[in-house]
């Protein structure tokens, strides 16, 4: 029948009493509950696994059997009968057959129903019959390299653990030498103690000796002079697929800070704010799957940026291809040179290095009889191949390293480099060779050197009074010190008396030259006469010397595009001192420091060969005979010339010009228009009278 519950207070002049959350519940006769999910865990590293649940008898009577089941990812139910006797309050575990869910995120719904009891009737409370869990089955990777440049956050196979669905890790600009990083806002989150976690996918550490975790961090802790906040960052490691974690790194407050303290919202770290932290994990963290978490504990302090996470196992045998060269050659024959480093813990006594050109067959070089110590590098010159015209895709990789413990590389992520190589063609240079970058890029016969396989020289859609130029996007080149070079064809010429190079330039900076703490973009021009074996620097500018906007106090904080001829400047370089005979090749090299874009256009290579008589006499008259005017052409500018007098055959002075301190040009025009035809005498007077000279010329009337 009805039940009345009363709460009676008896006052004895004591103290207050509070009551809250009064709950009077009828205990059902029959009630089974899915009390907990035992499996799956939130992360399942190595399917198959067996789903399982804990079932509790919440009723007043004994249960002698029931049904249990699950639905995976909305599919068909899987049901089994459990003939288990449960007294009131007792629990049991129900385990289902093993399953292999697909990789990625999955949802499983586990439930009980149809209890059998001594008091027949339906389950009184069906609301507690079902539990649902979302879990991840990430692929096990050989290692993790993450710079957060992708548009999806968190990255593929990562997990974001945000228990209260509040402010958490996001992708945000800037990164360290990159566009983006992982960011968490502690400055505007007053929930002290809130934990937010980024979890990396598991990596395979079977056979590894240790694991190295590195990451870049930028943080200013909150400090207003009277209060200091202690936001904390921890790195956690799990060897049992996320069931439990061990703290392997923990920093907070001023210890975590990379750029001191501030009371301001820290939203834009500069380059010097970043620090690289390293965590070394020993053998106790190897032998299976390893999961790394980055955990932020909010103290209502200030923001944290993390970038360039690397989780790398260290093995006995691990060869790395560090670099390959050359990138530009002068003939189709191509013999690449590889630098190979031993990243393992044992000396390597033999290995192979192979490369392919485009879709061609692999060319392999066997290296034997070596003793490459851990951490040491060696240079390997590979068997020659043949390049095609234009850019060639080169893939170079190491294989089968041998040490005392066996053969075979145990870490494959660093075995391969992909680069480009090109042939700079050889051309017979006329007096002028001009490249305006209006056609294909790189132009026929030109070459590109792109050591990091990142951004490099490319064609722009704007030029000096044109729709084309060559440029490099330093504004979005998130690096420091990377060098990219644009090679001209090999120019062949002989007997040139002067060799000149000119090009149009447009450039600016992102920062003030005085404020750019990590260097400025630099353009340098080199000349090689032996196809890259040796180089001569003939031009080098950066900062306020390189910029062409003519205002060093007005850097461009947006990406620079020179939409006007006034933003260009013509640069001229005299190459005569390098000799009048080819071959000669010009290289434009950009060194980036993530400032702003550099454009070049109208590259003009010009040679001048003087007439033999001019070189013999030092001066000639051209033309001779002449109609109205002629020019005196000197080999060198006559700085000691004092006057020029022109007399007719009768000795009358017809024209003169005086030079107080010598001529400033080596070409001097003379105008005798309107004078009679006939023979004229030029008298050249010098400060040293022994050099005075007379030249007979002939005028005719047209």
Is a pLDDT exceeding 80 seen at residue 694?
yes
Is a pLDDT exceeding 80 seen at residue 26?
no
Which H or E run includes 644? strand 641-648
Is a pLDDT exceeding 70 seen at residue 518?
no
What is the predicted pLDDT for the residue at 25?
Answer: 67
* Bridge pairing between strands 203-204 and 667-671: unpaired
What is the predicted pLDDT for the residue at 613?
Answer: 74
Confidence of residue 516 (pLDDT cuts 50, 70, 90): low
Rounded to 5 degrees, what are φ and ψ at 219?
-160, 135
Q: Distance between alpha carbon 118 and the CA centroid of its chain, in Å?
A: 70
Q: List, for residues 266-292, the tens digit of each pLDDT value.
A: 999 988 999 999 999 999 999 999 999
Distance CA 585, CA 535 (A): 10
How many H-runs (helices) and E-runs (strands) does the chain carry?
3, 52
Distance CA 430, CA 491 (A): 9
Distance CA 90, CA 115 (A): 14
**Percentage of residues in the chain having pLDDT higher than 70:** 98
Give the length of the chain: 702
Average pLDDT, the chain: 92
Maximum average pLDDT range among 289-303, 482-496, 659-673: 289-303
Is a pLDDT exceeding 80 seen at residue 432?
no
Q: List, for residues 528-549, the tens digit of each pLDDT value.
A: 999 888 999 999 999 889 999 8
For the record, the structure tokens of 574 come out as 């005299």
Residue 416 near residue 584, CB atoms below 8 Å: no
Distance CA 343, CA 327 (A): 25
Residue 501 near residue 437, CB atoms below 8 Å: no
Average pLDDT of 340-368?
A: 96
**Percentage of residues in the chain having pLDDT higher than 90:** 78
Is a pLDDT exceeding 90 seen at residue 701?
no
Is a pLDDT exceeding 90 seen at residue 561?
yes
What is the predicted pLDDT for the residue at 122?
Answer: 84
- Angle of CA points 603, 606, 610, to nearest 5°: 170
Q: Mapping DSSP to helix (H, G, I), strand (E, B) and coil, where does residue 209 land?
A: coil
Q: What letter does residue 202 receive in the DSSP assignment?
A: P
Q: What letter does residue 49 receive in the DSSP assignment?
A: B
Distant-in-sequence, close-in-space partners of 315: CB < 8 Å, separation ≥ 6:
207, 208, 209, 344, 345, 410, 411
Residue 258 near residue 266, CB atoms below 8 Å: no
What is the predicted pLDDT for the residue at 397?
Answer: 97
Confidence of residue 515 (pLDDT cuts 50, 70, 90): low
pTM: 0.75
Confidence of residue 552 (pLDDT cuts 50, 70, 90): confident
Average pLDDT of 155-181?
A: 93
Q: Report DSSP letters for 334-350, one per residue.
A: E--EEEEEE-SSS-B-E
Q: List, for residues 188-225, the tens digit of each pLDDT value.
A: 999 999 999 999 999 999 999 999 999 999 999 999 99
Average pLDDT of 61-73?
A: 96
Q: Mapping DSSP to helix (H, G, I), strand (E, B) and coil, where does residue 4 land?
A: coil
Average pLDDT of 468-494?
A: 93
Sign of the C-alpha dihedral, residues 605, 611, 616, 620? negative
Residue 527 near residue 426, CB atoms below 8 Å: no
Q: Which of 274, 302, 291 is nearest to 181 (CA)?
A: 274
Distances (CA, A) of 625 to 176, 257, 631, 678, 696: 71, 83, 11, 10, 10
């Amino acid at each position: 029948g009805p039940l009345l519950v009363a709460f009676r207070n008896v006052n004895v002049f004591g103290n207050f009493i509070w009551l809250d959350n009064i709950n009077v519940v009828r205990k059902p006769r029959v009630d089974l509950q899915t009390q907990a999910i035992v499996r799956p865990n939130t992360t399942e590293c190595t399917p198959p696994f067996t789903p399982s649940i804990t079932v509790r008898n919440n009723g007043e009577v004994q249960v002698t059997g029931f049904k249990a089941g699950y639905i995976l990812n909305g599919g068909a139910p899987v049901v089994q009968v459990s003939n288990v006797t449960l007294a009131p309050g007792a629990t049991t575990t129900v385990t289902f057959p093993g399953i292999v869910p697909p990789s990625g995120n999955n949802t499983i719904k586990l439930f009980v129903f149809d209890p059998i009891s001594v008091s027949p009737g339906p389950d009184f409370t069906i609301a507690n019959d079902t539990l649902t869990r979302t879990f991840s089955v990430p692929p096990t990777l050989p290692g993790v390299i993450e710079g957060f440049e992708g548009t999806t956050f968190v990255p593929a196979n990562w997990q974001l653990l945000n228990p209260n669905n509040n402010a958490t890790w996001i992708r945000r600009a800037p990164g360290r030498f990159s566009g983006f990083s992982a960011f968490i806002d502690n400055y505007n989150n007053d929930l002290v103690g809130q934990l937010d976690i980024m979890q990396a996918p598991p990596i395979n550490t079977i056979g590894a000796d240790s694991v190295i975790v590195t990451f870049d961090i930028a943080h200013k802790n909150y400090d207003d002079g009277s209060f200091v906040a202690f936001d904390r960052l921890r790195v956690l490691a799990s060897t049992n697929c996320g069931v439990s974690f061990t703290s392997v790194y923990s920093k907070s407050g001023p210890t975590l800070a990379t750029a001191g303290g501030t009371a301001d919202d820290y939203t834009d770290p500069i380059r010097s704010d970043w620090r690289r932290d390293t965590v070394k994990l020993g053998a106790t963290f190897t032998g299976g799957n390893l999961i790394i978490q980055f955990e932020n504990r909010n103290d209502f302090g200030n923001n944290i940026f993390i970038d360039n996470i690397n989780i790398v196992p260290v093995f006995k045998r691990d060869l790395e291809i560090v670099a390959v060269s050359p990138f530009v050659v002068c003939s189709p024959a191509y013999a690449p040179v590889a630098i190979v480093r031993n990243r393992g813990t044992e000396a390597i006594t033999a290995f192979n290095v192979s490369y392919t050109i485009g879709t061609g067959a692999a060319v392999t070089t066997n290296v034997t009889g070596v003793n490459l110590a851990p951490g040491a590098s060696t240079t390997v010159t590979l068997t020659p191949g043949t390049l095609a015209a234009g850019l060639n895709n080169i893939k170079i990789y190491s294989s089968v390293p041998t040490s005392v413990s066996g053969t075979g590389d145990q870490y494959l992520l660093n075995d391969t480099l992909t680069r480009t190589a090109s042939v700079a063609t050889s051309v017979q240079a006329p007096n002028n060779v001009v490249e305006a970058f209006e056609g294909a890029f790189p132009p026929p016969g030109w070459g590109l050197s792109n050591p990091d396989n990142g951004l490099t020289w490319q064609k722009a859609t704007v030029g000096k009074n044109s729709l084309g130029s060559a440029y490099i996007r330093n504004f979005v080149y998130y690096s420091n010190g990377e060098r990219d070079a644009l090679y001209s064809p090999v120019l062949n010429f002989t007997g040139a008396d002067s060799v000149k190079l000119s090009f149009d330039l447009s450039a600016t900076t992102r920062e003030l030259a005085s404020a750019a703490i990590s260097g400025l973009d630099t353009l340098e021009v080199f000349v090689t006469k032996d196809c890259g074996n040796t180089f001569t620097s003939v031009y080098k500018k950066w900062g306020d010397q390189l910029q062409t906007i003519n205002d060093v106090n007005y850097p461009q904080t947006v990406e620079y595009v020179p939409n006007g001829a006034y933003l260009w400047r013509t640069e001229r370089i005299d190459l005569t001192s390098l000799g009048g005979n080819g071959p000669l090749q010009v290289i434009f090299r950009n060194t980036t420091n993530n400032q702003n874009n550099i454009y070049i256009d109208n590259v003009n290579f010009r040679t001048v060969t003087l007439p033999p008589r001019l070189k013999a006499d030092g001066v000639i008259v051209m033309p001779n005979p002449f109609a109205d005017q002629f020019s005196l052409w000197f080999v060198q500018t006559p700085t000691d010339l004092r006057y020029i007098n022109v007399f007719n055959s009768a000795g009358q002075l017809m024209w003169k010009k005086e030079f107080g301190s010598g001529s400033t040009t080596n070409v001097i025009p003379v105008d005798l228009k309107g004078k009679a035809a006939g023979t004229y005498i030029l008298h050249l007077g010098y400060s040293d009278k022994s050099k005075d000279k007379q030249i007979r010329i002939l005028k005719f009337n047209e």
